[in-house]
A and B are shown apart, each in its own frame.
Chain A
């Protein structure tokens, strides 16, 4: 006979409904670094590097990618880390002070779309890599590719779910192992690329289709990496909640999430510069150049890296879904993680071609939406110097700190679209048509700054209209609070 109190408390901890207790936040810096690297390193490094090769050569491209990546992770860290690591909460809960208790579900929608989108990309690439290994080893013929790619994508997606069924703790051991292996394989591929192609050839290679404006090329290379790194916004909360304190979490997140993307995107940059038709994916020509022994490590890299990232992504998505009170206690952990993998399985298996045709739209959506969110969180914490109320984030209802207007904070609701409009004015992410001063300031940083300024201004202007307990700490015992939902 199980104890319902113990069951509820255990599930609330392990499945991420509530903040983690200090004693449960036992992950050290190595484990967090491993999970961060495992999340960061995936096939997107080929896409990103391949896209930067459109605008920049090897040396400026490398410098710009590292710079953009670091600035992007700075925005995400400033926005989420202080609050998420202080309370042991995920990114969605940390958004409640700025968007309101209901408005924060906007973040959940973004998180879900981002994770499902990226995981679909990863599973499709994983399916392709697995098929290529079998073809390269001549175990199957070329004709089997059409069947093998979706089949491997589906099997891999199911494997992610099966691993996560064992609970969040499995992430710790799996991610550290994956991080170590993909780091070694990534360095191996870079060395192999430089050795096979030659450094002089790479350094002299011209960008594939640059604009006439050197400033535009430079700004766009920077912008791509900056915007891509904002995709870590949903992940950071889920990662740092397991570690006690911001000081322990800071460098594993900066080094583990920010640096590997840029460093390994060099693979995509070099591959695209050397063999433009590769689009940044070195797999095929590494097999052509170095034979099976040359290409298989690259394929193994894709499989391991993508699996590790999809694992962390699905875990983060499950944590986000667990923030919906109506779902707490009604869905098991397996069903919650299943909700994260089913859309991926459907897209990767049946709609991979259509999805890849529109991947530019997806990438555009990331930078446009996450930059203003980071901006309002930074403004709230550092400019308005509001110290979030933990109770306000978890006890909802009229009279609670983050109820605002029916659960929505008008300041956040206005500031985010203002930031989105700023981004689109500076750089249309679908057509890449830009307006001054984009070539000097790019788009992500100004979008975050404008959204943050609009948010701070509206919050200042409306301060007198808010009730005192909506500005200061919550009063949970005033008899006016109510959890929004209770598990049946």
Chain B
């Protein structure tokens, strides 16, 4: 029982600390998504067309 209470208390404290530490500026922004799609969708499309005619 003591171990269960300790587990719950530590988990609860951990979740609070993690939630408190979340910074929105660390999330991907529009520029990141634009670069990601450019690199992983537009560039592959160009490569596929280029490879087809190579």
Contacts and interface: CB of A to CB of B under 8 A. Distances in A.
A254 B33 CA distance: 12
A85 B32 CA distance: 14
B51 A67 contact: yes
Contact of B41 (A18, A71, A390): A71
Interface in B22-43: 22-23, 25-29, 32, 36-37, 39-41, 43
Interface residues of B, number: 36
A390 B39 contact: no
Nearest to B13: A9
A4 B9 CA distance: 13
Chain A interface secondary structure, helix, strand, loop or mixed? helix
Contact of B3 (A71, A390, A488): A488
Given A64-B47, A73-B40, A246-B26, A476 B15 contact: yes
A63 B11 contact: no
Contact of A12 (B14, B25, B51): B14
Interface in A89-148: none
A60 B54 CA distance: 6
A233 interface: no
A361 interface: no
B28 A87 contact: no
B23 A254 contact: no
A87 B44 contact: no
Interface string A1-36: 000110011001000001111110000000000000
A250 B11 contact: no
Given A12-B14, A67-B51, A254 B27 contact: no
Size bin of chain A's contact surface: 35 or more
A155 interface: no
Contacts of A67: 43-45, 47-48, 51
B36 A254 contact: yes
Interface string B1-15: 001101110111011
A62 B52 CA distance: 11
B48 A486 contact: no
Contacts of B21: 21-23
B7 A487 contact: yes
Interface of B: 3-4, 6-8, 10-12, 14-15, 17-19, 21-23, 25-29, 32, 36-37, 39-41, 43-45, 47-48, 50-52, 54
27 contacts: A9-B10, A12-B14, A21-B14, A21-B18, A63-B47, A64-B51, A66-B44, A66-B47, A67-B43, A67-B45, A70-B43, A73-B40, A77-B36, A82-B28, A218-B48, A222-B48, A244-B26, A245-B27, A246-B27, A247-B28, A254-B36, A254-B40, A476-B12, A483-B4, A486-B4, A486-B8, A487-B3
Interface of A: 4-5, 8-9, 12, 18-23, 59-64, 66-68, 70-71, 73-74, 77, 81-82, 85-88, 218, 222, 244-248, 250, 254, 258, 329, 390-391, 394-395, 476, 483, 486-488
Given A60-B51, A60-B52, 11 more contacts: A12-B14, A60-B54, A62-B51, A64-B47, A64-B48, A74-B37, A246-B28, A247-B25, A247-B28, A254-B39, A486-B3
